[in-house]
Amino acid sequence: MSTYLLGRLGSLVISLLVASIVIFLILEVVPGDPAQFMLGMNAQPDTLAALREQLGLDQPAFSRYVTWLFGMLHGDLGISYTYKTPVTELVLQRLGVSLPLAVLSLSLTILIAFPAGILAAAKRNSRTDFAVMGVTQFGVAVPNFWFAILLVWVFAVILHWFSAGGFPGWDKGLWIGLRSLILPAIALALPQASILARVMRSALLDTLEEDYIRSARARGLSQRATLWRHAVRNALIPVLTIVGLQFAFLLAGAIIIENVFFLPGLGRLIFQGITQRDLIVVKSVVMLLVFAVILVNFLVDLSYIAVDPRLRRR
């Protein structure tokens, strides 16, 4: 088990280092000058030079990379060019929206997908199975921004149950904050739940054909007990992999939904950072997301140990 763990940990560190170099180099070659962007079309050359110096853009690339890397090691992500506030502060603010939103939509995803997938597999080729497959086919096919707009029109514009978007801030109260995330979470969860339900179903169907299932049935275990004790547990490995990927996606990839609901999440922070050439924000946030994705994958690898006893002996 410790060899397995050390191996995973080592690849985690190497992946992070490689990612930091790639991110830095990509942003070096992107055309566009942050100072020029900030000052706009009336800027004088001397003003541009003064701002570049203020932002530290006149330093050579290697020294900027080293400063950035060592800053990150002790939690300093730098100061945003445009917002003039520490990137850490910006990220924490955005995480205050993106993290609850990701958790909420992932919970919804699991709450819908697990029962639906298990039901469909257990009653294979029944009407229930066809219904689940039909609905999830629809859920995968519908563009989620369209579904989000539909939710806004029905629940905000017509029914006035929710506001059309925006995030008032957690200091206004837990319910008020949570309420502004409900529609976005539903919009995000629909396609994810559909995908996960289908993965759950097919993984379960695969395991149900394994020899040990037949043995268990032959030993006189009921169909229900076989399903829960043997099949579901073994089907979880591919399902957990997908859940891990989905969480990473929901954390950073919700940008379209964030736009529809004008939520101040991480996705929009990166997008804004790119268009405004707030490169320090882009670098640091992308690095942070890479870290999150790698960490989630690491945790998923760990969870395999919990699910699969064979890995514990390595």
Partner 1 sequence: MRKSLILLAIAGAMLSGTAYAQSRTDVNIAMQLEPPSLDPTTGGAAAAIRSVTYDNIFEGLTRIDRDGAVQPLLAKSWDISADGLTYTFHLHDGVKFQDGTPFTADDVKYSLDAARGEKSVNAQKQLFAKIASVDVVDPTTVKVTLSGPQGDFLYDMGWGDAVIVSQKTAATNATNPVGTGPYRFSDWVKGDHVTLVANPDYWGAKPSIEKATIKFISDPTAAVAAILAGDVDVFGGFPAPEAVDQIKADPRFSVTVGSTQGETVLAMNNGKAPLDNIKVREAIAHAIDRKAIIDAAQFGYGTPIGSFFSPGDPAYIDLTSISNFDPDKSKALLAEAGVKDLTLSLKLPPAQYARAAGPVIQQELANIGIKVDITNVEWADWLSNVFTNKDYDLTIVSHVEPNDFGNFGKDGYYFNYKNPEFAKLMTELGNTTDPAKQTAIKQDVQKLLANDFAAGFLFELPNITVANKDLKGIWENAPIPATIISEMSWAQ
Summarize as ranges the residues that interact with partner 1 (CB under 8 A). Answer: 31-44, 46-47, 50-51, 54, 82-85, 90, 93-94, 149, 152-153, 156-157, 160, 163-169, 259-265, 268-269, 272, 275-278
Alpha carbons 84 and 131: distance in angstroms, whole number: 53
Q: In the complex, what is the shortest distance from the CB of residue 149 to partner 1, in angstroms, rounded to a whole number?
A: 6
Q: In the complex, what is the shortest distance from the CB of residue 9 to partner 1, in angstroms, rounded to a whole number?
A: 35
Phi, psi of 15 (to 5 degrees): -60, -40
Closest CB to partner 1 among residues 49, 225:
49
Contact 289, 252 (CB under 8 A): yes
- End-to-end CA distance of the chain: give it in Å, rounded: 4
Contact 121, 234 (CB under 8 A): no
Closest CB to partner 1 among residues 133, 149:
149
Closest CB to partner 1 among residues 36, 202:
36
Q: In the complex, what is the shortest distance from the CB of residue 94 to partner 1, in angstroms, rounded to a whole number?
A: 7
Alpha carbons 208 and 227: distance in angstroms, whole number: 8
Q: In the complex, what is the shortest distance from the CB of residue 44 to partner 1, in angstroms, rounded to a whole number?
A: 5
Alpha carbons 24 and 67: distance in angstroms, whole number: 12
Strands (E), 144-231: none
Tokens of 34: 């942050």
Q: In the complex, what is the shortest distance from the CB of residue 93 to partner 1, in angstroms, rounded to a whole number?
A: 6
Closest CB to partner 1 among residues 242, 281:
281
Closest CB to partner 1 among residues 51, 118:
51
